[in-house]
């Protein structure tokens, strides 16, 4: 699964994207897996209320299932316009 990061999430993790081998059932499960890996992930995902998630480039929720999803994106609330 391709996991992509934007803005300060990207900076905190230190990568724009990576391939993650996972059996995580939901976004929350994936976050728990990443947080347990290294401190930089724990720091980036410390407060998920400050984050948004997109599954295959559509805004989604943290309890959404990952079955069939190829790209997960994590980023702060958007500031367009």
Partner 1 sequence: MTVRVQAEPVDAGAELNGFAQDRHDVGAVVSFTGVVRDTQGDLQEMLIEHYPGMTESAITKIADEAVTRWDLADVLVIHRYGPLKPGTPIMMVATAAAHRAAAFEAADFLMDYLKSRAPFWKKEVTSKGAAWVAAKDADEDALKRW
**Residue 62 lies near partner 1 (rule: CB under 8 A):** no
Residues 71 and 1 sit within 8 Å (Cβ to Cβ): yes
Stretch that binds partner 1, among 23-31, 35-43, 57-65 (CB under 8 A): 57-65
Residues 16 and 10 sit within 8 Å (Cβ to Cβ): yes
What x-and-dash track marks residues 13-52 binding partner 1 by CB under 8 A?
Answer: ----------------------------------------
Max Cα–Cα distance, the chain, nearest Å: 37
Chain length of the chain: 81
> Minimal CA–CA distance to 20: which of 9, 7, 6, 31?
31
Of 6, 35, 42, 62, which lies in the binding site for partner 1, with binding defined by CB under 8 A? 6
Stretch that binds partner 1, among 4-12, 22-30, 32-40, 41-49 (CB under 8 A): 4-12
> Is residue 51 helix, strand or coil?
coil
Binding site for partner 1 (CB under 8 A): 4, 6-8, 54, 57-59, 73, 75-81
């Amino acid at each position: 699964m391709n996991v992509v990061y934007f803005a300060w999430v990207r900076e905190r993790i230190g990568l724009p994207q990576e391939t993650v081998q996972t059996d995580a059932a939901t976004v929350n499960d994936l976050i728990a897996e990443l947080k347990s890996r290294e401190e930089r992930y724990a720091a980036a995902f410390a407060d998920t209320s400050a984050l948004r998630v997109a599954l295959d480039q559509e805004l989604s929720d943290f309890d959404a299932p990952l079955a069939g999803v190829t790209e997960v994106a994590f980023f702060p609330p958007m500031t367009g316009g």
